[in-house]
Structure 1
Amino acid sequence: MPLIVTTGYHSLAGVRPRNEDFVGMVTPNEPDLSSKGLIAAIADGVSGNEGGREASEYAVRGLLSDYYATPDTWEITTSLEKVLLAINGWVQQQGSVRRELAGMASTLTALVLRGRMYYTAHVGDTRCYLLRDDGLGKLQKLTQDHVWDRPEMQHVLTRAIGLDTRLAVDHGMGELRQNDVFLLASDGVWSALTEYDITYFLKQVSLSILTPEQASSALCAAALEAGSQDNSSAMILQVNTLPEGDLRDALSELRSLPAPPRLKPGQNIDGYLVEEILHTSMTTLLYLVNDTAHHRKLVLKTLHPDRANDAHERSAFAHEAWLAKRVVARFFPQVINPDQRNFLYYLSTWHPGESLQTRLAAGQHFTVPDVISYGSKLVRAVGALHRRSILHRDIKPANVHLGDDDEIRILDLGVAQSGLDSEDKSLAASFTMAGTPSFLAPEQYQGDSASRQTDIYATGVTLYYLLTRHYPYGEIEPFQRPKFADPIVPGRYRPDLPVWLENVLLKAQGRRARTARALVWRILTAEEFLLALERGAARPLPAPGATPLVNSDPATILARAIQRPYPGHRDRGLSAAL
């Protein structure tokens, strides 16, 4: 059953010649209702001129439209925060470039209802209330006014959109319950009425005596009758039905489906003809299938039958399918919705080509221009993931596909994390260290969690390996806990490598310092990585400094020198390292 909410609002100018309040709401259809929820907002312009009305209207309209443009993988609070910061910058700019709008600013209170949770974002002195039908019927004020606490300055705002270049937004969240009644109100309503009065009208909604529309109108009228000297606006939302669970419960259908048996070429599953087994691992199977109804080839990914009854594996696979559906860009295979689905799997587009690892194993030689070109595309793809708050956690040649169309695509989101994973306790086990040992950043071996920088590190190792067929710190086995010295310069294996590209690769693989005072010299973002590749020799990065000999581990130096000497010059490699 979906989330169903009854809503209503009312707004009056009152004794003021102009209504500077603005209210708005979006109640989307699926899939936005499950992924983003519905959002309502109220704003009160605080400027005494034209700017107040313009600020409140822009704040609400901007939030309602831009919120749904944020990635589904962002947390609700992240989406609200980023949109409101952008709106604050715009209001600030308008007030400085248009004289008639000088001093324009607005309060704003927003409410998001999604799944079985509610979220608030608040700045100023508009308010959000909740009346819960829990036997007590007590009114809860979910926001705190941002005003001076001195008696003579109780209506002077300390925070508002457009008031300052920096905006601090209060966020709140809680669990939804059936028949919850929310009220968004401007100060023209709440300052003129007591909490007893507000509770009375909201109870009328809870008891189905008044509709939210009728109660909103009655609240505004009561505020004016009580002597309100300001615009009066109210919006009421009543929760009629709740979905079975939160956003993660949108995956329940996939989790509950049975895993198919191991399939052979020529067999059929839900109308898809199996042509080839593309890949087999301990946990998953990939098939090339023919979608005869739409005359196209697709990739079908499913759980290995041996893991079909593993609750964690089923949950992780459903999470992977959910993430894969949301990375809509040319850098990833696109998920296809099946006409019918009776088994646990998901479908994605098929692209002729092979992984970089397969091409290396077949003897393909990648030139420096090849690596610069493909590396730029790979970094763009990693950046696209990070902008959606997704960490891949297993970037390596085997998970990077080079299509016959010369496009780079990232594969396998099996161990990826998104900003929403914390909402699903069943995914907690996936927060542990995951990935391929030789591509894991040094700090991960010291207990640090995955981050954008660890993906950057793995991307740098991937390009290094593509050029040299070696690892910058030597190959690491799963049972090892390595100690990292300085990486082996890639020019040792590829004398044709430009110095500027060598410096980029070394900076991408730098060891992240663990102290705040130490120098951090790893590339920090995909955008910085891409800029370094595009600028090339025109604006080269400086060579990273070597670790002082006094801070080096002699045993590590000796082991690396023996394992990775200069090609054909064992003694030279040892003497150079020492």
Structure 2
Amino acid sequence: MNPSNTASSRLRVTVGQSCLAGTKDQNEDCTGVRIGAGEDLCTKGVAAVVADGVGAASGSKVASETCVQGFLSDYFSTPDSWTVKTSAQRVMDGLNRWLYGQGHAEGLSDEKGYVSTLSAMVLRSRTAFIFHIGDTRVYRMRDGVMEQLTRDHRSVVSRQTSYLNRAMGLNLSLQVDYKEVVLEVGDCFLLCSDGVHDWMTDDLISEVLLSSKGLEHTAAELTERALAAGSDDNVTSLLLRVDELPESDMEEAARILGERPFPPLLDPGMKLDGLEVEEILVESTRSQLYRVTDLENGRELVMKTPSPNYRDDKDYIARFVAEEWIGKRVSHKNLVQVVQRDRKPTFLYYLMESLDGKNLAQWLEEKKGKPAVEEVVGIVKQIVDAVRALHRKETLHQDLKLENVIISDQGKVCVIDYGSCSVAGLKESPSDKDEEVLGTLDFSAPEYRMPDSEKANTRADQFSIAMIAYHLLTGGKCPYGDKWEKADSLRDFHALEYIPSYRYQAMVPVWMDGALKKALRVSPSSRYPSMSEWMHDMGHPNPEFMESRHLPMMERDPVKFWKLISALLFVLVVILMVLGDF
């Protein structure tokens, strides 16, 4: 079989298989592979099955074929909301009940009915899920080393006598071995029946697998060698090689990364996974940030590690893992980039690019609280561009504040900290809602603080960015005054009165303040429907906000006013100079 024709961002595999009757009149082995088409490749993945009907049973051939065909058909029919484990186990339980019932309906004893071994493997995203009962086997070849991933369910009476103690259809109480294995590109899996592995040593199987031949040829060579070695059983081998892997999904990332141990608290000079700590940047009760150097290439990075205080807190670990996953999903020049090295981490942490510059709180202090209006608008536009990139991935930032925006000396803005991000479709834990999602009180939208309020959407991030803009324009003032921090109910918020920004900074045009006011409205439905519409109004006078046109020009458009005054003064100076010559 040729490699599946899928995009490089998806799981891509190559398959080879051989299933022969051998010296027997009837082939009671069965094998099959199904590669999900379209969206099924993401939600269901690739399923591979090998079954060996028990020779002593009268319905062995039907049993093995039912196991393979039934698993491949029923697994892909299960709801997408079910996990792989739930889907496969429920399918196997249903097949087992049918096989057991069929045998008893024909008056056959347990071991004489419809009985078969079964080894099934599902590859979804970057994980292999293995389900096994009986004495068929699953092996993995990785980096030239072969490993048996299943154990035989066979009781040995003597050197010549053994019997299966677990199989499909043997009894109603189904005990299936389950295992998860993280995938790597190049992994090659072998599923085979006892007609192969009982007649070939592991060294011989490994030698055949390492031969540089196509998988169909290799699968055929395994069955032929088993027969040549004297196998008197049916012989089956199924090979599956991982050619390309997609990005991890959230559930998978949490499972993989959550298994890593917490790193110790680090000091300058200490080394971890080829990274040397240069400086402790932040050390809080929830996490640590270190400036580190990659000793392999000299690159300066920032390492974030979880706090040892939460070593046993599953919700905290899930949230920490989510930060890295979110950072890897999105790429934008105004978002801090999560860095992935070739070397695999041995502890739970993640790396980010090191940014030159200062946060906006420090920047505002350097400007003595009076930055130019045009400069602030340029900064806000970059923040909006960054957050819109998150929104395109159905992700809310939820903690936009001055300290979470870095600006370089050249004026480039970078939004940092994915710790409070919310991704559509992911289940939030109680701790997420109580501690993380609220972000920072000064900048968070009212809907996060009001009970029974509207569910937060992209307009919540719009509110926070508008808060940042107002703070920068006014030198750190709040648009609702001192009552803002105390408000926690719908009544409190609707009682607040907006303070125009131009009262603190005369250079802010009335129309620009009107755009700010709309983005800062308490009700999300009253804000701008899109970020782009808001940004247009921040740069272009909207007639809707010019109702106060009877105000003096200095209040309506202070920039134009002072430009006009400057021009008039210049003309006056020229006239005076000319008159002085007379």
TM-score (norm 1): 0.53
Q: Are the equivalent residues in 2 in contact too, given 1:439–1:458 (CA < 8 A)?
A: yes
1:306 and 1:478 mapped to 2: Cα distance? 30
1:337 and 1:365 mapped to 2: Cα distance? 40
Q: Are the equivalent residues in 1 in contact too, given 2:250–2:322 (CA < 8 A)?
A: no
SS of 1:348 mapped into structure 2: strand
1:516-555 superposed matches below 5 A: 520-534=525-539, 536-537=540-541, 540=542, 542-543=544-545
Question: Where does residue 376 of structure 2 map in the other structure?
Answer: 371
Q: Are the equivalent residues in 2 in contact too, given 1:438–1:474 (CA < 8 A)?
A: no
Question: Where does residue 41 of structure 2 map in the other structure?
Answer: 112
Q: Report whether the alignment pairs 1:483 with 2:529.
A: no
SS of 1:298 mapped into structure 2: strand
Q: How far has the Cα of 1:326 moved from its partner? A: 1.6
1:176 and 1:326 mapped to 2: Cα distance? 23
Question: Where does residue 254 of structure 1 map in the other structure?
Answer: 257
1:86-101 superposed matches below 5 A: none
Cα distance change on mapping 1:138 and 1:381 into 2, 3 Å: closer
Q: How far has the Cα of 1:313 moved from its partner? A: 1.4
Q: How far has the Cα of 1:385 moved from its partner? A: 0.9
Question: Where does residue 146 of structure 2 map in the other structure?
Answer: none
Q: How far has the Cα of 1:179 moved from its partner? A: 7.5
Equivalent AA in structure 1 for residue 422 of structure 2 = Q
Q: How far has the Cα of 1:506 moved from its partner? A: 0.7
Q: Are the equivalent residues in 2 in contact too, given 1:115–1:247 (CA < 8 A)?
A: no
Q: Report whether the alignment pairs 1:451 with 2:431.
A: no
1:55-454 superposed matches below 5 A: 111-114=40-43, 133=67, 174-176=82-84, 247-338=250-341, 339-362=343-366, 363=368, 365-422=370-427, 427=429, 429-431=431-433, 433-444=437-448, 445-447=450-452, 448-454=454-460
SS of 1:287 mapped into structure 2: strand
Question: Where does residue 42 of structure 1 map in the other structure?
Answer: none
Q: Are the equivalent residues in 1 in contact too, given 2:493–2:522 (CA < 8 A)?
A: no
2:270 and 2:312 mapped to 1: Cα distance? 23
2:285 and 2:46 mapped to 1: Cα distance? 36
Q: Report whether the alignment pairs 1:504 with 2:508.
A: no
2:442 and 2:72 mapped to 1: Cα distance? 57
Equivalent AA in structure 2 for residue 456 of structure 1 = Q
Structure 1: which 5+ residue stretches go unaligned? Answer: 1-6, 10-23, 40-75, 77-107, 119-130, 144-170, 183-204, 210-237, 514-519, 547-578
1:117 and 1:439 mapped to 2: Cα distance? 46
Q: How far has the Cα of 1:340 moved from its partner? A: 3.6
Q: Are the equivalent residues in 2 in contact too, given 1:506–1:544 (CA < 8 A)?
A: no
Q: Are the equivalent residues in 1 in contact too, given 2:257–2:321 (CA < 8 A)?
A: yes
Deviations 1:323-348 (A, max 9, x none): 11122111112121232422221111
SS of 1:299 mapped into structure 2: strand
Deviations 1:161-212 (A, max 9, x none): xxxxxxxxxx9654446879x9xxxxxxxxxxxxxxxxxxxxxx99999xxx
Query: How many positions carry a matched residue from both structures?
Result: 357
RMSD: 4.6
Deviations 1:492-522 (A, max 9, x none): 1111111121111111101226xxxxxx431
Q: How far has the Cα of 1:27 moved from its partner? A: 7.0
2:513 and 2:487 mapped to 1: Cα distance? 30
Question: Where does residue 503 of structure 2 map in the other structure?
Answer: 492
Cα distance change on mapping 1:479 and 1:351 into 2, 3 Å: same
Q: Are the equivalent residues in 1 in contact too, given 2:253–2:325 (CA < 8 A)?
A: no
Cα distance change on mapping 1:470 and 1:343 into 2, 3 Å: same
Q: Are the equivalent residues in 2 in contact too, given 1:393–1:416 (CA < 8 A)?
A: yes
Question: Where does residue 116 of structure 2 map in the other structure?
Answer: none
Q: Report whether the alignment pairs 1:26 with 2:32.
A: no
Cα distance change on mapping 1:406 and 1:246 into 2, 3 Å: closer
Q: Are the equivalent residues in 2 in contact too, given 1:265–1:275 (CA < 8 A)?
A: yes
SS of 1:439 mapped into structure 2: coil
Equivalent AA in structure 2 for residue 460 of structure 1 = A
1:344 and 1:176 mapped to 2: Cα distance? 25
Cα distance change on mapping 1:439 and 1:392 into 2, 3 Å: same
Q: Report whether the alignment pairs 1:474 with 2:481.
A: yes
Identity %: 26
1:253 and 1:139 mapped to 2: Cα distance? 29
Cα distance change on mapping 1:138 and 1:505 into 2, 3 Å: closer
1:487 and 1:368 mapped to 2: Cα distance? 20
Q: Are the equivalent residues in 2 in contact too, given 1:355–1:400 (CA < 8 A)?
A: yes
2:364 and 2:328 mapped to 1: Cα distance? 29
1:372 and 1:239 mapped to 2: Cα distance? 55
1:136 and 1:257 mapped to 2: Cα distance? 37
Cα distance change on mapping 1:443 and 1:175 into 2, 3 Å: closer
1:529 and 1:294 mapped to 2: Cα distance? 43
SS of 2:288 mapped into structure 1: strand
Cα distance change on mapping 1:402 and 1:117 into 2, 3 Å: farther
1:454 and 1:300 mapped to 2: Cα distance? 29
Structure 2: which 5+ residue stretches go unaligned? Answer: 14-35, 48-64, 92-118, 121-135, 137-191, 194-238, 549-582
TM-score (norm 2): 0.52
Q: How far has the Cα of 1:409 moved from its partner? A: 0.8
Cα distance change on mapping 1:110 and 1:390 into 2, 3 Å: closer
Q: How far has the Cα of 1:483 moved from its partner? A: 2.7
1:498 and 1:332 mapped to 2: Cα distance? 30
2:546 and 2:445 mapped to 1: Cα distance? 17
1:110 and 1:132 mapped to 2: Cα distance? 26
2:83 and 2:67 mapped to 1: Cα distance? 13
Q: Are the equivalent residues in 1 in contact too, given 2:510–2:546 (CA < 8 A)?
A: no
SS of 2:40 mapped into structure 1: strand
Q: Are the equivalent residues in 2 in contact too, given 1:288–1:298 (CA < 8 A)?
A: yes
